[in-house]
Each structure stands twice: as structure tokens, then as C-alpha cells.
Amino acid sequence: MKHRRITKRRAAVAGAGIAALVAAGVTFQTANASETTKAPAPQPLSITAAGKLASTLGKDLGTDAAGTYYDAKTKQLVVNVLDEATAKTVQAAGAKARIVENSLAELKSARTTLKQDATIPGTSWVTDPQTNQVVVTADRTVSKTELAKLTKVVDGLGATVELQRTKGEFKPFIAGGDAITGSGGRCSLGFNVVKGGQPYFITAGHCTEAISTWTDSSGNQIGTNEQSSFPGNDFGLVKYTSSVAHPSEVDLYNGSAQAITKAADATVGQKVTRSGSTTQVHDGTVTGLDATVNYGNGDIVNGLIQTDVCAEPGDSGGSLFSGDSAVGLTSGGSGDCTSGGETFFQPVTEALSTFGAQIG
């Protein structure tokens, strides 16, 4: 069992990153103590400002930081640190410091051990900055023997890992936006994009692996696959082959639509909305990043956004967004929109980068 401890380190403050924040207009606080000595509360930040601050502090602090998340109630960025010196740096930059035990290196090492020794269908794991642990979840398909193996590995990792069970079953939601269909089933359109001046749309990779030619809800052919990546990733690119309208917006299923003007990375604690052709529109919160999900049959996907938003078969590929920002593509999860559940999303920014496409 790992001994619990607080690691003492000196914070290395990179002046260039802090200066950039000043130039960007971020309000700094004068702080002489960490959160444990009741330092002045940071000023409220929007989710966009918090994301930028998190990115800059992550680069400046390096291994002295141990994860970040957004507190939607107080509108503050919370930064996990390993010592008082780093806490003062965080507070000076306008964020809330929280001293924790486990470093990112220790959490990464735990994930590596899980990958090597506990790759079991029906499991997922994600680094949770709010608990400062790697949270491992086993669904109802995991057998007693497999659970015993998983428990042994988790116990060996001590305080860095927590094991949970879910009554649901992790599975891709094949059966965002409007319904798109083909000979292999039904999915949902994620976001309209532009590549090389031509119109395309993106959806889940497990959808484009099963279906190559797409039609709309009226049976009219609208597109054919251009690129697909699943497992490992879960995104696909489809080229429009008809003159159907393709505005950069998401169907809200109430007669209106949300305009989408850009793509953005998710932040833990961020409020998000999902649109899909089975269960339409549902809201929730980002609960983890860089999640690994084992859907079974060798279908393991990495780097996913974990949320408490519900979804069901047919919602796959649909849109996850926050305001006018595209955030994710529905991959899979457990539960449903009656009893609740959790859903994982492929980050949109990674898909766009891979495809060389832009929101539009």
C-alpha cells in the first residue's frame, strides 16, 4: 500500500507565461498564503478565461501542478499543487490553489499499470482532478473473476486509484444533431465542417466504420465517407455529395438551432449540452478528461471526454457543445435518459486537427 504524503517542491515560475496573462487582462491577486491559510478568494472567471489560465499555468508550473478543474458555482479555476510555494504562484495568477497528495506523474504511472495489467472489456478509467485519483469503473458485464483481477491491481496502486461499479453496460451508441442513416444503422450528425473549401460533416468513427454512404431522415443520399478512425479514436469525416443545406449549427429540437462558430477543448466542471437523434437535447457537466473506455471486442478508445450527460443508441456521433463552441462527438457510455448514466465523447479539436478541417 502506498504511503500517503505531501511532496515538497519548489515552484518554478515562468515569467513569460505570467506576463502574457497580464497582457490579456487577467486580474491578479496578492497572496501570501495557500488556500489552507485562507488566502483572498480569486476573482470569478468565465469558462473561456479559466481554460486559458489553466493552459498557461500548466506550462509554467510543469510537474508542480497536478491537474485543474472549473468550479461552476464560484466561477473559479481550481489548480491542484504539491506544495505551499506553488500554491502562492497559483493564487498570484488569479486561480484557487489546492494542495493534494498525488502528482500527475504518479497518476500517469497508475494508468500505465492499469493498461498493462487490467485491460478488461467493460471497464473505463479517467484521471479525476477533483478527487486527485484515477477513477476506474467496471460495468455489469465484468465477471467475478475479472473483477477480482481488477480489484487486485487497484489495491496494489493504493491511494492513487479508486474502483467503482456501474449497473449499465459500456457500449458505442450506434443505432448531435439530426439523424443520419445507412445500411448499417442510424447515427447522428456531429458538426458541419469545411476542408479545402468543400463542405463535410464529422460524426463518430464507429459509425463511419459501419456505414459508408449516408442518407438523411427522408432517405436522400447526402454524403460518403472520406476518413474514419476507430478504435483508438472515435471520429469520421463524411463529404457532402448533395446540395442539401449545411449550416454551422446544432438542432435544438424545439424549432430553433444553436449557431456553432468555433471548436474548443473541454474543461472539467464545464456545463455542456448534447444533441442527438434518439433522445434529442440533454445537459450535463464534464467530469473527466483523457478517459480510456474498453467497449469489448478489442474496441478500446483513448483520450475521451467523460460526462454525466445521458445518451442512447442512435445518439452516436451527435454534438456536444457549450454555447457556440463545438466540444465533442458522442462515442458511447452506459445507462439511458430515463435512469441516467454517463457518456463519453471524442474531442472535436483532435478530429479537426487530424482531418485538416475547420468548423463552418
According to DSSP, residue 57 is labeled: H
Report how many domains make up the chain: 3
The domain spanning residue 240 has which CATH number? 2.40.10.10
Residue finishing a domain among 49, 66, 99 = 99
Measured from the Cβ of residue 130, the count of other Cβ atoms closer than 10 Å reads 16
Answer yes or no: is 286 within a domain.
yes
Active site amino acids:
206, 234, 316
Q: 5, exposed or middle or buried, with CB in 10 Å at 0-12, 13-18, 19+?
A: exposed
The domain spanning residue 134 has which CATH number? 3.30.300.50
Answer yes or no: is 8 within a domain.
no
pLDDT digits (tens, 9 = 90+) for 287-319: 999 999 999 999 999 999 999 999 999 999 999
Question: Of residues 20 and 77, which shows the higher confidence score?
Answer: 77
Comparing C-alpha atoms, which of 109, 126, 143, 153 is closest to residue 308?
126
Interhelix angle 144-156/104-117, rounded to 10 degrees, is: 150
Cβ(300)–Cβ(293) under 8 Å? yes
- Give the largest Cα separation in the chain, rounded: 65
Answer yes or no: do 210 and 348 share one domain. yes
pLDDT digits (tens, 9 = 90+) for 146-196: 999 999 999 999 999 999 999 889 988 655 346 788 876 899 999 999 999
pLDDT digits (tens, 9 = 90+) for 201-233: 999 999 999 889 999 877 889 999 999 999 999
Answer yes or no: do 184 and 313 share one domain. yes
